[in-house]
Structure 1
Amino acid sequence: MIDVLLDIFWIPIGGFLSFLIFISAINKSIGVRKAYVNFLLRIFEYGRVSIETASKENQHVQNPKTDDKQGVQLVDDADSKEGTNGATLITRDAVLLPQAQEPAPEKPVSSTKDEINFDFEKCLDYVKSGVEAIIEDDVTSRFEAEELKSWNMLTRTNRHYEFISWKITSIWVFGFFIRYVILMPLRVLVCFVGVVWLTVCTAAVGYLKDGPFKRDLVHKVLGMCFGVLSSAISAVITYHNEDNRPSSGICVANHTSPIDVLVLMCDSTYSLIGQRHGGFLGVLQRALARASPHIWFERGEAKDRHLVAERLKQHVSDPNNPPILIFPEGTCINNTSVMQFKKGSFEVGGVIYPVAIKYDPRFGDAFWNSAKYSMMQYLYMMMTSWAIVCDVWYLPPMYRQEGESAIDFANRVKSVIAKQGGLIDLVWDGQLKRMKPKKEWREIQQVEFANRLKSDST
């Protein structure tokens, strides 16, 4: 009897999965994901109103003399004063930031010494900037989960309202059951099918002879496979300005997550460049390399700038190769900012296609904190989120201007991406996530301070 019931249970589940995979494979949508996202927005809005009502009642109980209007005002003030990773609390002035500079020719050292009259008050600006950095650090806050203004029914956020009222508790328990008992097993199964399908398809396509037919087939196969994989995280992706979609050359984008590759590959085919990995990422890298040209480096080779530049030039010089996708930041940033672009990909020459990617944090935090979570932990968090919702903007192609340095060109492209994505444009190097500030940055600030002392003493 139990076997019969299990068979009856799995028949509709199997049919639903087959239909879902088929729809994803042909890159079609019947509107289920968008309807699901719109329904979640209504739930979140209802939760916000319920939380504000419960907070107002708690405030009224604690202070009976406080009227309702004042209680509501207190709740609104608490929300408005809460700092997020995307906005700064301190308005800084006269802050010395590291400015990217081309190596300057060495100047002869003068034998004469300039006399400088030193006053302690001249250090106050630096002391003030240091205290501001301690209170609110522009760098480390970009490598933490983005804070939300309202709760999204996930306990992994900065807000914990699951027990503030019985209504919110009921919604949270029901949502927990949906995400962990129903959605997660289905997503894991779809992800497994997608990885196997990608491996098999790319292996089969890899045996074909290079030519227009193979390139067209690879484009369709990869779009189909990544469409299936996007279902594993309930991805809802909106592409803007598709006329600017890259067709060759170099495509650069801001970097939030390994999912960035999936998001872009669902719409077009790209070649990838990066360090060889093991584990889950290694499986995907080897599968992709069978079907299309990609550039994978060993750990030691990736540090050789000349080797990387040469491989990039070879790839871009072949018009038959798909555009190569590069994340010049070199590390994941938390969806609020764009940090320093490495100049290597801007020295190659040719056209640069900027792409801005912005995730909606209300449905799930797409940021991968690699220092805190492994790849499998990150995938687990993605598959237990409500959904991954994002917007992609294809920006007009950009060219390096005459006399423009590679660093200035990189900063110009970065500024365009940040403006389109509504992100904060920062000059800091994202590698500060893993290492100490460069010696050159300290020396720049020392020279600047010395120049200020000289100008004040004259």
Structure 2
Amino acid sequence: MFWAALLDFFCIPFIVFISFMIILSAVNKSVGVRRAYVKLLLKIFEFGRLSIESAAKERQKLVGDTIFNNSQERKLDEINLSFCKKTGRTIPTTNGNTLISRDSVLLPTSNEPAASDIESPPKDEEMRFNLEKCLDYIKAGVESIIEDEVTSRFEAEELKSWNLLTRTNRHYEFISWKITLIWMTGFAVRYFILMPLRVFVCFVGVYVAVVANSLVAMIPFEFLRHPCADLSFKITFRIMTRSLSAVITFHNTEYKPKGSGFCVANHTSPLDVAILSTDCTFSLIGQRHGGFLGLLQRALARASPHIWFERGEARDRHAVAERLKQHVSNPNNPPILIFPEGTCINNTSVMQFKKGSFEVGGVIYPVAIKYDPRFGDAFWNSSKYSMMQYLYMMMTSWAIVCDVWYLPPMYRQEGESAIDFANRVKSVIAKQGGLVDLVWDGQLKRMKPKKEWRELQQVEFAKRLKGD
């Protein structure tokens, strides 16, 4: 009897709390607990920063400024060199800033050159070596070896101050007993309270998605099925984002995507889909998956017009373009949510947009997404972590805090190529999100540069050696 009473004492409030939270998320309301939680975290982070700075000043007094600075710089260099040797990667940078300030010598143009447009290298007898003319070119090459602009975009974004979460080599959690106590308390809260609660709410969200979309699919009247499908779509992702303690701030809601077309956004994480879908209904596009993602895809497809491709079909650009045109031509369909980068970038930059969705025609709704890295690193390094590992890291983070900016709709201008249009949209998104606008293709992390790009560099180098 005692244990039954004790179990009821804990279970009933827990069930009531979970039910209340799910109902609030379904109707997109909040009582302010998450935002108060985020403000409390900021105060704790600030206290940690001040404690670290005071500890560093005390150590400087004991050891001496010169000796301390030199030893710390050597230690940092040793750590960075060790990191590079072990991983074969360049040193990560902070907030998209590079360690090297370089001038661009030659970058790939927006319009890929044809093979006939590339000049053949001059013959040996016509070559006049002028090494001085190409020293800056050689310097740029060495700088790219030390730190290229692509690899650093696929490493975790570094923070200006410790957030009691990021793994470092400095062991900040042991500089004082107060910081140690806060760190241990935070560890216990994240792993033993927040994570089980978040996992449970996430499974509830998947269950709601399966049941709600199955019920909507059985509605025979189209005029009633559409609003019910929109509601079930939003409720599904609202519950899932609440499972991550997500705090999302939407700006410029008057530009929210409406009607058919393409919603184009920068890509940092698979969570981008869930975050945008809490405020607007989209048609999703992507490859068919198995497991957890496959279950969610099949559930959503029962009630909404989503576009899922088999792996082989997705490689057929004409088939993809035809499916997109058919979808956009129907004004009753919701806008298609697309991430033209094709891969996740580490929340500091926007890389080359693929031109496919900009060739189809129709309106483009640009959206900029920027995460606050102080509460958790939302970037998914797919070459390092599996989907389940990534979800585990998100479930054990403090929270997911981000800003979303809706931008005015954009149209392809007369005589404008699809590549130029894609670059124009990319520039607008980068500027609004405070991101670095890069010309490089994000797929360079998986494949070698195109032959045309290498030939451009060879021709440029030959011209400089010749003295042109």
Give the shorter-chain TM-score range: over 0.9
1:97 paired with 2:107, answer yes
Q: Which residue of 2 aligns with 1:377?
A: 389
Letter in 2 for 1:58: R
Question: Secondary structure, in 3 states, of the residue corresponding to 1:237?
Answer: strand
Deviation at 1:7, TM superposition (A): 2.3
Q: Which residue of 2 aligns with 1:61?
A: 62
Q: How does 1:10-409 map to 2 (within 5 A)?
A: 10-63=11-64, 83-104=93-114, 106=116, 115-156=126-167, 160-209=171-220, 211-247=222-258, 248-409=260-421
Deviation at 1:122, TM superposition (A): 3.4
Contact 1:85–1:336 (CA<8 Å) still a contact in 2? yes
Residues of 2 paired with 1:175 and 1:29: CA distance?
A: 24
Residues of 1 paired with 2:118 and 2:226: CA distance?
A: 57
Q: Which residue of 1 aligns with 2:6?
A: 5
Contact 2:93–2:157 (CA<8 Å) still a contact in 1? no
Q: Deviations over 1:238-288 (max 9, x none)?
A: 000001011121110000000000000000100011111111111111111
Compute the TM-score of the two structures, normalised by the length of structure 1.
0.92
Compute the TM-score of the two structures, normalised by the length of structure 2.
0.90
Contact 1:238–1:391 (CA<8 Å) still a contact in 2? yes
Residues of 2 paired with 1:441 and 1:242: CA distance?
A: 40
Q: Deviations over 1:384-418 (max 9, x none)?
A: 00000000000001111111111111001000000
Aligned residues: 446
Residues of 1 paired with 2:438 and 2:171: CA distance?
A: 31
Deviation at 1:187, TM superposition (A): 0.4
Question: Secondary structure, in 3 states, of the residue corresponding to 1:42?
Answer: helix
Contact 2:266–2:339 (CA<8 Å) still a contact in 1? yes
Contact 1:353–1:395 (CA<8 Å) still a contact in 2? yes
Deviation at 1:209, TM superposition (A): 3.4
Residues of 2 paired with 1:6 and 1:209: CA distance?
A: 44
Letter in 2 for 1:417: I
Which deviates further from its counterpart, 233-242 or 199-208? 199-208
2:427 counterpart (415, 439, 442): 415
Q: Structure 1 residues 216 and 159, CA, compared in 2 at 3 Å: closer, same or farther?
A: farther
Structure 2, gaps ≥5 residues long: 77-91
Residues of 1 paired with 2:322 and 2:56: CA distance?
A: 61
Question: Secondary structure, in 3 states, of the residue corresponding to 2:126?
Answer: coil
Residues of 2 paired with 1:218 and 1:437: CA distance?
A: 43
Q: Which residue of 1 aligns with 2:80?
A: none
Q: Percent identity?
A: 72
Contact 2:115–2:452 (CA<8 Å) still a contact in 1? no
Residues of 1 paired with 2:175 and 2:208: CA distance?
A: 45
Which deviates further from its counterpart, 300-309 or 255-264? 300-309
Deviation at 1:94, TM superposition (A): 4.2
Deviation at 1:160, TM superposition (A): 3.8
Residues of 2 paired with 1:388 and 1:34: CA distance?
A: 11
Residues of 1 paired with 2:131 and 2:172: CA distance?
A: 49
Structure 1, gaps ≥5 residues long: none
Contact 1:102–1:407 (CA<8 Å) still a contact in 2? no
Residues of 2 paired with 1:7 and 1:258: CA distance?
A: 38
Q: Deviations over 1:204-241 (max 9, x none)?
A: 11122362321111111111121111111000000000
Root mean square deviation, CA, Å: 2.4
